[in-house]
Structures are given as C-alpha cells and as structure tokens.
A and B are shown apart, each in its own frame.
Chain A
C-alpha cells in the first residue's frame, strides 16, 4: 500500500491538536435500535478534513449529533475542544458551524440576509460587524445577490449555500456537515469542495462531514472513517488506504470510487499494473508511467 497523496497526514500524527474525539459511544433509541460507535476512536485534528462513510443506518448522523451535543452519550465519551458538548455546548458553540441534512428546517429567518446574520446577532455582536460579516460570507459563497430574498423561494442548492453561509459567518474552527453534497449540481459541488479545501488550508478550519458521495472523498478528505452497520468504526486512514481495503468496504456496503475499482481490476488482470489511484490526475500519471515501462 503506498501513499499516492503525500500531503495527507495520517490521523495518528501525534503533533496535531485534537478537536473532536469520540470513544466508544453507545446510543440506544427507544425502539431498541442501538448505535455503538466503537472499535476505533473517532478523531479529528485541527485543520484536517475528515469524511465519515457508511451505509444507511450505520449511525453517521447519530455520530454528528453527538459531536453537536444534541445527543447525550449513554455510554462512552465525546470531547469537542476538550469538553463534553452535550453538557457544555454553550461554551463551545461559537466555535462550531453546522449544516444539517435538511436545510429547509435550518433556515429560520424570513430573509437570507437576516438568516445569515442570525448567529452573530444572537451572540450580541455590534450591528456594523454583523453586517460586515454577512457581506463577507455571502461574497465568499458567491450569493451576495440573494441577500434580500425570501429563503423559501430558493432552489435546493441555493438554500444549501445559504445554510452554509449561516454556519461560516462566525468563522468557526470546526465545521460539521451532514451530507453536504446532496442536491448540488456538479459545478456547485466542485465549488464547495474547493471552498472547504481553501478554508481548512488558509484558516486551519477542521471539517467533519458525512457523505454517501464516495467520489468526493479522495478529493476532499485528509482521512476517512468507515462505519459498519451498527456503528462500529471499522476503519480509518487516508482515502487511498481506506479504498484499498476491499473486505471492510464490502462489510460496510460501500462501493469504492470507480477509479479504485478500475485499478483493482487492472491488477487482477496484470500484476504489474499500478496501485490504486483515486483522482483523475493521479490515474493519468500512473497509467502513463505504466505504459512507458
């Protein structure tokens, strides 16, 4: 197994500051369904982009809800910025930005501008600063022209951007996104990926997201976690490491990205074929090198 992504730092890097840690949290819902986020600890370090993958019902959203303090661990522990979010959410909430799955429910103000301004106003920032922040974040997302619109009338993708603006307006150190790519067209999706990359690189923002969209993972994630059904944290590693582990992927009902599959098949046909490449650029380079030798 080789690292095609040299800039990806391994999760076990001891120098990085820990932002989120989940150790063996169990949550049992009233109908008896239980999610047991155990196996490996879930870690997210400062400035890293972390993807959580898993089949339906594995507990991705449950995990994010624990990070946000919306659920209280019945067993095990959750730490965000070193405190328990379900108990001390108010002390850390300014540092966390959130976009949940259903953005319709997340937009609560009657205009886009007011909605984005919601958090800074609740935190009592002076109005001039609130406006400046709103303007800046709307510009960042390229939706300045939506400021006076009524959110209900927007398209799904626009609503997602508005919700994201509302999450970014306080310059959070940790951004939590639940299925952020749903409802985005390919251009917006690429735009979001680029933006997240920039934010984590320039501002050291930590991003934790759950997704079904396997193809975004190699491009997005510094490292990824695979949840098996029932919540078991079965695997963590760089995207290359994760997608090379066919048995765990199969257990988690996860179909690897199409490029990973292609290279696996190639190696089956010809052992000299290159190891997995996950992005188109990498694949082109690898194939070119293979052709030459």
Chain B
C-alpha cells in the first residue's frame, strides 16, 4: 500500500466528506470508535460496518484501495479470535470490531490530509507521544512496503520451502534486521527533513474550514445516532436483544440504496 495513493485521495477527492471540516470528521470518528468499543452485540457492530460501507459507496470513495487496508486487521484478529474466543460468535465479534474500527480509520484518512489529522491529535497528546504517533503512522506504510519486498526476496533467495527450515529461518531473521536498519535510515531522513524545515514536535497547519456545513451536521448526527444505538443495546440489552437485527437491516438497506443509486447515476 503506497502512502501516495492515500494522500492523493485525501487531497484531490471531491466527496461531501472531503468538504467537511477535519475537526468534524475527527469527532465523528471518535464517536463511531466509541460505539464499536462499547458494543458487545455482533449485529450492532455489523450494522456500523455496513453503515460505513454505505457511506463509502455513496461518496464514491476509492473502495478498491480502502477495503484491503481495512481488512488487514481482520487477518490477525482472525488468528487471535481462533486462539482465544470461546465460540464462533465471539470470534466473529472480535473480527467485526477490528475491521469496523479499521474501516472508520481508513475512511477518515482517505478523506482528510494527514497533517490535518495529526495536528489535531498532537494538540491533545503529550509532546513526545504526538511526535512518535506521527512517525509511527508514516513508518507503518514504509514498513509494509519494505516487508513486501523482503518476503519476496527471501522467497526468491533462501526459500521458505521448508527444505531447510533452520536456514530459511536464519535468512528471515537476518532480513528482519536488515529491514529494521533500512527503514530506520529512511525514517531518519524523513525526520531530518521535517526538522530542517522547521518542525519541532508539533505539526502546525492552517485548519481547513468546512465548505459544506450541512455535511458537518449530518456527519455528527449520524455518528451520535450510531453511538446512541450502540449504547442502548449495551445498557438495555435485555429488552433490546430481540430487536438486534433492526439496525443491521437498516444499515444493509442504506448500503443497497447507495449501491443502487450509484449504478443508476452511472
């Protein structure tokens, strides 16, 4: 995954979400995240997932780049769930939570230039933490790229064939060391440039004002509704449990409508 694709989408996209104020999007993101965190009902979490998918479809965001990114956490959540969840439903919940949280994050990052997001984050985190968060974010993409190169190289050279498991394990760990140093140099240079150009631990940006206040209001309303739903089913789950399918059905309807509308407009 190239960070350039993400940047390009964040900057040159033209959806309603792109027009909303970064501040609003961050708040909405936090609300959605909170609703995923409090939710213990698979159906509710899935409802949030499909609501987000509906949003992505309706806004014509580059789903092809976004979905693999959001699905990546599913991979490890699946193994985690396999190892620790007591049953299939709990496992599904673990995976759904991971994917939905990632989907929300990806939607935010694909519609908001990263300096806007990190400038806001750094305002509320202690100095070094905000600084480290920014570099970690950049480093994740950098590592992902290099890791892909690396596995290819290891496969080509030593082979993970299993014929020489020890030798291939050795090659892999040595490659891991190389990866560490290589990425360190890259990120060091990136940081050098930031410092040379005036960065001192806090990104400063000109806050983008909203160019569509209606979108801002709709976003917040939607996020609050999601959080309320999640909270309701969490607190009064005994009375609501039988109706868990309703939010999910509603979200699915939204997704269907978005897809239909999209096809008709095409």
Contacts and interface: CB of A to CB of B under 8 A. Distances in A.
Interface residues of A, number: 31
Contact of A105 (B113, B189, B203, B206): B189
Nearest to B138: A108
Given A121-B205, A121-B206, A150-B12, A114 B113 contact: yes
B204 A122 contact: yes
Given A110-B115, A114-B113, A122 B11 contact: no
A93 B196 contact: yes
A110 B113 contact: yes
B193 interface: yes
A102 B186 CA distance: 11
Contacts of A124: 204
A25 interface: no
B7 A110 contact: yes
A123 B198 CA distance: 7
A78 to B, nearest CB: 15
Contact of B206 (A68, A130, A148): A130
A245 interface: no
B190 interface: yes
Contact of B200 (A105, A108, A122, A153): A122
Contacts of A68: 196
Interface string B175-211: 0000000000010011011111111100111100000
Contacts of A89: 195
A111 B197 contact: no
Interface in A117-151: 117-119, 121-124, 127, 130, 148, 150
A109 B115 contact: yes
A152 interface: yes
Contacts of A98: 196-197
Interface string B116-143: 0000000000000000000000000000
B114 interface: yes
Contacts of B192: 70
Contacts of B113: 109-111, 114
A118 B197 contact: yes
Contacts of A162: none
B252 interface: no
A100 interface: yes
Given A118-B197, A122-B197, A150 B204 contact: no
B56 interface: no
A122 B199 contact: yes
B197 A166 contact: yes
A226 B186 CA distance: 29
A90 interface: yes
A85 B196 CA distance: 11
A5 interface: no
Nearest to B2: A152
B13 to A, nearest CB: 11
Contacts of A153: 8
Contacts of A200: none
Interface string A84-112: 00000110011010101010011011110
A148 B11 CA distance: 9
A87 to B, nearest CB: 14
Given A93-B198, A110-B114, A152-B4, 17 more contacts: A68-B196, A89-B195, A93-B195, A98-B196, A102-B189, A105-B190, A108-B197, A109-B113, A110-B8, A121-B204, A121-B206, A122-B200, A124-B204, A150-B8, A150-B12, A152-B7, A153-B8
18 contacts: A70-B196, A93-B195, A93-B198, A98-B196, A98-B197, A100-B196, A105-B189, A108-B193, A111-B11, A114-B205, A118-B197, A119-B198, A121-B206, A122-B204, A123-B198, A148-B12, A150-B4, A150-B12
Interface of B: 4, 7-8, 10-12, 113-115, 186, 189-190, 192-200, 203-206
Identify the 6 closest CB pairs spanning chains A and B, nearest first. A122-B198, A152-B4, A110-B7, A119-B198, A110-B113, A110-B11
